Amino acid sequence: MEENVDIRSLGALIESKSGFITDLVHGMGQVIVGQKHLVDSLLVCLLSDGHILLEGVPGLAKTLAIKTLAHLVDGSYKRIQFTPDLLPADIVGTVIYSQKTENFVSRKGPIFANFILADEINRAPAKVQSALLEAMQERQVTISTETYPLPVPFLVMATQNPIEQEGTYTLPEAQVDRFMLKVIIDYPSIEEEQRIVKDHIMGKSQEVKPVVKLEDIIEAREVVKQVYIDDKINNYVTDLVFATRYPEKFGIDDMKQNIQYGASPRASINLALAARTYAFIKHRGYVIPEDVRAMAHDVLRHRIGLTYEAEANNITSDAIITEIINKVQVP
């Protein structure tokens, strides 16, 4: 009974603290037509202190989404366009000689912002990718001998193009693992596209005004940590991840030949964190299995290695995750 009271009071706290989510979603909805899944994913990453990798053809509002979010949260925003001739110093910064002071001074790069759009991350060579991913992981950057902390909150949204694979450098598996979510963006529906065309023809553009302060986001992250996750839900999360490594233990023997390697323990951590934040976004003080299932594809998609047989048979990691979700017992 005491636990019920806790859940009830926690629910009231979550309800009062998650009100700004509605304002953010409404603000995003005024600028971006459709793409609700993308908006939810961005909010999950923002409140879980994670990063997001987006895959989709050009023109699906990827850039617009993160730019709008940065304006709504009143945070700084920088866009880095990745190209084959980009250098790590172009991202993190460099040391230059100042004639005025007759000293070397650090010039900070574009990475020092709250919201970073790493556009077409797979166009830059590995050393540039690793410079960005190191900053993502460590939340700090070293320029020469000085170490500088990155601003809080710090969210990287990297995009990559599924078409035009010539002249691209595939992200190594170990580095892709650092992204909390990988989201595949699809085309809008015909009704949404008609609305987009209509808005553009009429020259309708919404002015984006801040609705949340950065301090509110930092405070909300602390509240998210209080969202209740039952042990049964935790076990469900680990079961889903273990099913990617040992499918035969969960009665999915035919999947064994399609999986080269399963998801890492980082997947379990991120799936639990994402499910907890998703519950918060839905104004709930506790996690239910549906929250885990809602986030499973985005968390696990880039963490499962496919065998040659799977690729030859056109079996995707999404199909494997769907099969696992259907077979693993729900608490």
Task: For domain 227-327, say whether CATH 1.10.490.20 is its number.
Answer: no
Per residue in 150-201, pLDDT tens? 998 898 988 887 766 667 788 877 778 889 999 998 888 888 888 888 888 8
- Is the alpha carbon torsion for 325, 329, 330, 331 positive or negative? negative
**Measured between alpha carbons, how far is 280 from 47 in angstroms, rounded to an integer?**
9
- Which residues make beta-bridge pairs with 286? 228
What pLDDT shows up at residue 53? 92
Helix (H, G, I), strand (E, B) or coil at 141: strand
Q: What is the pTM of this model?
A: 0.87
| Cα–Cα dist 22/36, whole Å | 13
Q: What is the CA radius of gyration of the chain?
A: 21
The superfamily (CATH) of domain 34-207 is P-loop containing nucleotide triphosphate hydrolases (3.40.50.300)
| Closest alpha carbon to 265 in 289, 240, 247, 290 | 240
Q: Is 180 left (phi over 0), alpha (psi -120 to 50) or beta?
A: alpha
281 torsion bin: left (phi>0), alpha (psi -120 to 50), beta (else): alpha
Which residue stretches of the chain have pLDDT < 70?
1-5, 163-166
Nearest Cα residue to 151 out of 49, 45, 25, 38: 49
Sorted by where each begins, the domain ranges of the chain are: 34-207, 227-327
Q: To the nearest 10°, the Cα dihedral for 145, 149, 151, 152?
A: 170
Pair 258, 317: CB distance under 8 Å:
no
Find out whether 148 and 108 touch, Cβ atoms under 8 Å. yes
